[in-house]
Amino acid sequence: MVDRSLEPRPGAARVRFVDEAADYQTGSVVVRGAGDGGAVDLELPAVCGAGVAGALARRTLATTGGETDRLTVRLGPLEALRLEPGEVVTVEGRTGDWRVTRLDVDEQPSAVLEPVVVVRADEAPADWRPGDGPAAVGAPFLRLLDLPPLPGAEEDGRPVVAVAAEPWTPMAAHGGASVEALTPRATVVRPATVGVLTEAVGRGVVGRWDQVNTIMVRVEGRAPESLTAGAVLGGGNALALETAAGWEVVQYRGAELVGGEVWRLSGLLRGQQGSEEATAAGAVVGAVVAFLERDMARAEVAAAERGLPRVWRAGPVGAPPGGAGFTEVDFVWTGRAARPWAPAHLRATIEGGGRRLSWTPRVRVNGEGWEAEPVEVDPRRFRLRVLDGAVELRVWEVEGVEALYAAGQMAADWPGGLGEGARIGVAQWGAGYGWGAEAVARLV
C-alpha cells in the first residue's frame, strides 16, 4: 500500500545550534528551497558546525511536504523478526533505499517505509572566531555598614555590604585577619545605590519630622523617590549617613532632582533605630550616603571577630581577591545591632533634698506593636553615672526603671552645690554586648 503526502513543501528551513567555532555561542543557518509552504524552525541541541546544521536544514526541506511516498508492506512472521526500526532496505519494483520507520508485529505483521534522502554536510572549513571577552570592570566602591536592627531584618546583625560599579558584574566580598587569610564572606548580585554629600548636614531633632535640615547628595544608582508619610513610617526610604559618630539611619519623604545627579532629600526622620548619637554629630561634605534596601547583601562574620580589625576586599565573582579589579578597606565589626538603645524619657525630680531618677527602656527588636506588650530583648539592668561635664563623680547599677540619688550622696559629690555641668547618664546592659548607648539629662 502506498500513501502519498500532498502537503506544500516548505520554502526555507532555519536551524539554531551550539556553534563550536564561535566559543559555543548560539549559531543559526538558513537554507532556502523551491517550495512555497512557508518556513520551518529547528532547534539542534548539539555542538557542531554550520555544515552539519545546513545538512539538517536541506534534509528537512527534502523530506517535509511535497509528493512524498510512504509504503506500508505486509510481512511474513520470519521477515518481521529479522527487521528493526531504522534499518535500510530495498523494495522490489521501487528504486533507491528505504528506511523502516515503524514495525507492527501482530496477527498480520507490517512495516512502514520511507525513502532515504542522503544529504552530506558541507566540507568548507569552519569560520573559527572567539566569543566576546569579559567586560572590563574597574575597582568597585565598597563600604561595610555596622548598623542597628533594620526594619524587616531585625534579627540579622551581620554587617551590610554596599558594593557599586559601572558597568556592573556580580561581586564577591572577602574578609580576613590579613590579605593572606582572606575568605569569601558575601556575594553581591545587585549594585547598591550610593552617594556623597554636596552640603554638610547639621544636627537635627529626633522623634519628629525634621523640617529644617535637608540632605543634598550626588547619587549613583537608582534614582530616589518621594513617598507618603505613611509609607515612610512603615519603613520606606531609609538611608545610612556617614558621621564621625558612626552611621545615622535617616528616612525621608521628599526627593527632588536639583541638577545633574544631585538630589535634595527633605521631610527627614533623624536618628532612626537608636542612632541618635550620630544625629548629634552631623555629617560633613563628602560623607558617604548608602540607600538601604531590604535585600542588601550581608557579610558572614563570627562572634569571635567582634571588635577585631579585619581586611576586606571586593571584586568580580570568581576572581582571586587581589589586583586592580578589587577594592580594599579596613573594617571593625562591633555588633552594633546588639547594642542596647539609650533609655527614653530620662527625668530627675526633687525628692527629700535628693533626686528621684526615672526612665523608660527601649526595645530594639519588635518593640513597635500596638496590640501586645513588647518582649524585652535586654535585661533590666542599668548603669547610672553622675557627671560634672566629662568628669565622672559616681557610678552605680540598679535593676529597675528608677533610682534615688540621695541627699547625702549629692552633698558628698557636690559640696558647693550643683554646678552648671551637673548631668546624670543612664545606660542599659545588653547580654553578649555590654553597656549600650547612654541617655543624659541635667540634674535640676
Note the pLDDT of residue 136: 56
The SS3 call for residue 254 is strand
pLDDT category at 368 given cuts 50, 70, 90 is low
Task: Tell me the per-residue pLDDT of 258-314, one tens digit each, with 9 for 90 and over.
Answer: 988 999 999 999 999 999 999 988 899 999 999 999 889 999 999 999 999 999 999
Quick check: pTM over 0.85? no
Task: Tell me the per-residue pLDDT of 405-418, one tens digit each, with 9 for 90 and over.
Answer: 999 999 999 998 88
- The answer to whether the beta carbons of residues 148 and 141 sit under 8 Å apart is no
Q: Which domains does the chain have, with CATH numbers?
A: 2-115 (no CATH), 141-334 (no CATH), 344-442 (2.60.40.10)
Residue 295: closest CA among 146, 106, 162, 119: 162
pLDDT at 366 over 80: no
Task: Tell me the per-residue pLDDT of 136-148, one tens digit each, with 9 for 90 and over.
Answer: 567 999 999 999 9
Pairing state of beta strands 110-115 and 141-145?
unpaired
Note the pLDDT of residue 11: 82
Note the pLDDT of residue 130: 66
- Provide mean pLDDT across the span 88-104: 82
Task: Tell me the per-residue pLDDT of 207-231, one tens digit each, with 9 for 90 and over.
Answer: 899 989 999 999 999 999 999 999 9
How far apart, in whole angstroms, are the C-alpha atoms of residue 351 and residue 147? 40
- Provide mean pLDDT across the span 74-90: 81
Task: Tell me the per-residue pLDDT of 245-266, one tens digit each, with 9 for 90 and over.
Answer: 999 999 999 999 998 899 999 9
CA-based radius of gyration for the chain:
38
Note the pLDDT of residue 179: 93
Residues 6+ apart with CB under 8 A from 176: 182, 183, 310, 311
How far apart, in whole angstroms, are the C-alpha atoms of residue 153 and residue 277? 22
The SS3 call for residue 238 is strand
Amino acid in position 108:
Q
- Give 124-185 as a 3 state SS string: CCCCCCCCCCCCCCCCCEEEEECCCCECCECCCCCCEEEEECCCCCCEEEEEECCHHHCEEE
Note the pLDDT of residue 253: 95
Highest-scoring range by mean pLDDT, 23-27, 54-58, 101-105, 269-273: 269-273
How far apart, in whole angstroms, are the C-alpha atoms of residue 196 and residue 237? 17
pLDDT at 200 over 90: yes
- Provide mean pLDDT across the span 18-33: 86
Q: Which three cell numbers stand for residue 246?
A: 558612626
- The answer to whether the beta carbons of residues 56 and 44 sit under 8 Å apart is yes
pLDDT at 331 over 80: yes
pLDDT category at 151 given cuts 50, 70, 90 is confident
Residue entry with cell 533634698: 353
For the chain, the average pLDDT equals: 87
